[in-house]
Amino acid sequence: MTSTNLHNPLPSGSDISLPWHLRLPRPLEKDFRLYFRASVIKIAPLALVMLAILLVLAVCVEYLIDPAVIAVSWRPRLLTLMLIVGTLILMRKPAWHVWLHPASLLLAFGIAFTGDYLGMAIEHPLSYTFFLQTPVAILLICIVLRVPFYAALSSSLIMIGALGVCTHISQHEPFAAMTLLLLTLALGSMSLFGQYVYERLLRQHFLSEHVLYQHRNELHSANIVLESQATIDGLTGCINRRGMESRLNHLYHQLNSKTPDAPRRISLLLFDIDFFKQYNDTYGHPAGDECLKRVSSVPLSMVQNETDFVARYGGEEFVIVLTNSSFNDALVFAERMRNRIEQLGLPHSGSRVSQVVTISVGVSCSDGPAENGAELLKMADEALYQAKGAGRNRVAQMSHEGQVLML
């Protein structure tokens, strides 16, 4: 019998329905404004430079047609050019980008209203063409500078209304005025529709990225939890053997590569609890687990550097890795740790060296002949073996010359 497994992919954001009015919940709407503005910033400077060039060309054409026109048009043209330059200045600093859309609307109104003024003030058979600046202004905010839809809609209605009033009271032929108004309405409606579709698609893309960002955050958090579960010893809270080997190899790689954040040296302390098997036989395994917790808490409380760590190597054996500490400081650390664990006063009637729990420690350093973490651990293990052979409850070191010395 076969069963059909339905595959339910993670939501990508494209399946999220967007309301016709485009509005998102307030926190998302605020983030979208920033996202929307960032998409405009990339193209706005070039668009404004092109607009300034067109403005200069318009002045040249006006001069060629009739030099007398310049006497009336140069001030509105200069005002428009100043608005372009002001909008360009807003692009220079990120803190000023919040004013980009208001400046774009101000520029568009400047273009439209100066066109209305020139169309009424200049007496020339072709002066009605100045009214074409209104559809140009609408194209500017909808297609080029991409002002948000509702701001573009309200601004376009104001400009078209002003155009209708100006063409009505001007001395131009009614047919020309009606043609200009209908052309502006056609271009404005198509531009606004295009802006609506563009903003809808952009909002959909924003939602998709937002959802994927949340998925990445959740995945990252899950990976951290899994990595922690894979490298932390559940009983003592120390790093387990796998995590210890990975970190030690990484530190040695940095040391050999001489990277900027490489440690100056690596000191390794390997210790185990003296006669721990007898402790389990005497007090039971639950008490043995509690003993491991109490003993491991001592080195855990002593390490301070971010790169230093304590690891449970196996059973009752533990490893402490110290970075950027001198070899003498590592020996002092080992002796203090041994003394503090002895002062815990954990009863151990099965021990042949003391009536309380004690440890034996072997210490090695990367300044010696060890070329990798495994060799450094082997040197510490040899020193530990000698410490146990010398009577336990003591610290032994592997010198730089490869000789084991008792502290």
Higher-confidence residue of 388 and 28: namely 388
Residue whose tokens read 């990975």: 246
Average pLDDT over residues 136-162: 91
**Which structure tokens are listed for 6?**
């339905």
Strand partners, 321: 268, 309
Q: What pLDDT is recorded for position 43?
A: 84
Q: What pLDDT is recorded for position 24?
A: 77
Q: What pLDDT is recorded for position 144?
A: 86
Higher-confidence residue of 183 and 13: namely 183
**CB proximity list for 235: less than 8 A, separation 6 or greater:** 289, 292, 293, 312
SS3 282: helix
Q: What pLDDT is recorded for position 228?
A: 58
Higher-confidence residue of 221 and 398: namely 398
CB under 8 Å, gap of 24 or more: what pairs does 390-394 form?
391/353, 392/274, 392/275, 392/353, 392/358, 392/360, 393/274, 393/338, 393/342, 393/353, 393/354, 393/358, 393/359, 393/360, 394/338, 394/360, 394/361
**241-406 CATH:** 3.30.70.270
Q: What is the pLDDT of residues 2-39, one digit of tens each?
A: 444 444 454 555 556 667 777 777 777 888 888 888 88
Higher-confidence residue of 43 and 321: namely 321
Q: What pLDDT is recorded for position 293?
A: 95
> Mean pLDDT score of the chain, rounded to an integer?
87
**CB proximity list for 51: less than 8 A, separation 6 or greater:** 84, 140, 144
| Location of each CATH 3.30.70.270 domain in the chain | 241-406
Q: What pLDDT is recorded for position 224?
A: 59
Q: What pLDDT is recorded for position 227?
A: 64
Average pLDDT over residues 67-90: 90
Residues in the chain: 407
**Which structure tokens are listed for 311?**
């690891």
Lowest-pLDDT range of 109-123, 165-179, 301-315: 165-179
The confidence band for 226, taking pLDDT boundaries of 50, 70 and 90, is low
Smallest CA-to-CA distance from 235 within 274, 288, 280 is with 288
Average pLDDT over residues 192-201: 90
Is 60 exceeded by the pLDDT of residue 312? yes
Strand partners, 317: 272, 314
Q: What is the pLDDT of residues 256-311, one digit of tens each?
A: 888 878 888 999 999 999 999 999 999 999 999 999 999 999 999 999 888 899 99
CA distance 148 to 34: 12
Q: What pLDDT is recorded for position 16?
A: 61
CA distance 358 to 394: 9
Average pLDDT over residues 198-220: 79
- The model carries a pTM of 0.52
The confidence band for 317, taking pLDDT boundaries of 50, 70 and 90, is very high
* Calculated CA dihedral for residues 52, 55, 60, 61, nearest 10 degrees: 140
Is 50 exceeded by the pLDDT of residue 1? no
